[in-house]
Amino acid sequence: MQNLEGKTVVFFGATGGIGESVCREFQKAGANLVLVARSQDKLAKLKEELGGENIFAISADATSLTDVQKVFAESNNKFGEIDAVVISVGTWIRTSLINSPQEIIEMNDKLEASIAKPVIVVASVAQEVLRKQGRGVIFNMSSHAADSYLQGNLAYAGAKAKTSRFILNLGEELKGTGVSTCDIRPALVDTPQNREGLKNFSEEEWVKAVQPINIAEFVAEHIGSSNIPAIKFFESGIEAK
């Protein structure tokens, strides 16, 4: 993977399935890494495992404007200018017609709060910080569910689609500022959490899933690049059942 020494990445959702796996790859590449998540215990554990002076952990609520602004202020104080912001928040919850209307509504509200709102809050603050620098890129970890049908995604697809549309529109408005956005849309990703939740897949099947290293390599390659795609798809050879 491309060397990231001297590059600063602020990663929201660092302790999540995709987040933790990608952060481990960034650490190996030498990035100055700001780990952001709500759980102090999980953050402390991840920071200890990664180690090094270039790892900085901040506990924050990504739906709180005050918390997110504090994250960027502390990141600047620790490492100076920021090269990239990665937003990887929320979790998948199956919602389909086996659920009652009330359950569908409740799931939709839950994912709106845990996926859509954090992305909008973080990206809104990030673009302001990066515009003042005159450079930087915002990566949103969306999903192929944002524009593709898969059974069980009644609530999840809508939340992801909302974040994708916001990031794409933000990217258009940022043209000419030196700041870019990229909406990453992976299919099923091979993470410890997904393996735990989807035990019906064999090892041979899991190797066909999207590998975190591929996402990490893409992000690393496009930090500082002037040729960043607005959307990046990662296809998988298996689908959640």
Given a cut of 70, the residues of the chain with pLDDT beneath it are 197, 239-241
Q: How far apart are CA 148 and CA 104, in angstroms?
A: 19
Strand positions, DSSP E, 107-168: 136-141
Instruction: Give the pLDDT score at 147.
Output: 87
How many CB atoms are closer than 10 A to CB 177?
Answer: 15
Q: How far apart are CA 7 and CA 5, in angstroms?
A: 5
Instruction: Give the pLDDT score at 9.
Output: 98
How many CB atoms are closer than 10 A to CB 121?
Answer: 21
Q: How far apart are CA 33 and CA 97, in angstroms?
A: 41
Report pTM: 0.93
Instruction: Give the pLDDT score at 240.
Output: 64
Give the tens place of pLDDT for each residue, 108-160: 999 999 999 999 999 999 999 999 999 999 999 998 888 887 778 888 889 99
Q: How far apart are CA 182 and CA 140, in angstroms?
A: 6
Instruction: Give the pLDDT score at 6.
Output: 94
Instruction: Give the pLDDT score at 238.
Output: 72
Give the tens place of pLDDT for each residue, 25-35: 999 999 999 99
Instruction: Give the pLDDT score at 159.
Output: 93
- Domains in the chain and their CATH numbers? 8-234 (3.40.50.720)
Instruction: Give the pLDDT score at 18.
Output: 87
Q: What single DSSP character describes residue 13?
A: T
Q: How far apart are CA 84 and CA 77, in angstroms?
A: 16
Instruction: Give the pLDDT score at 92.
Output: 76
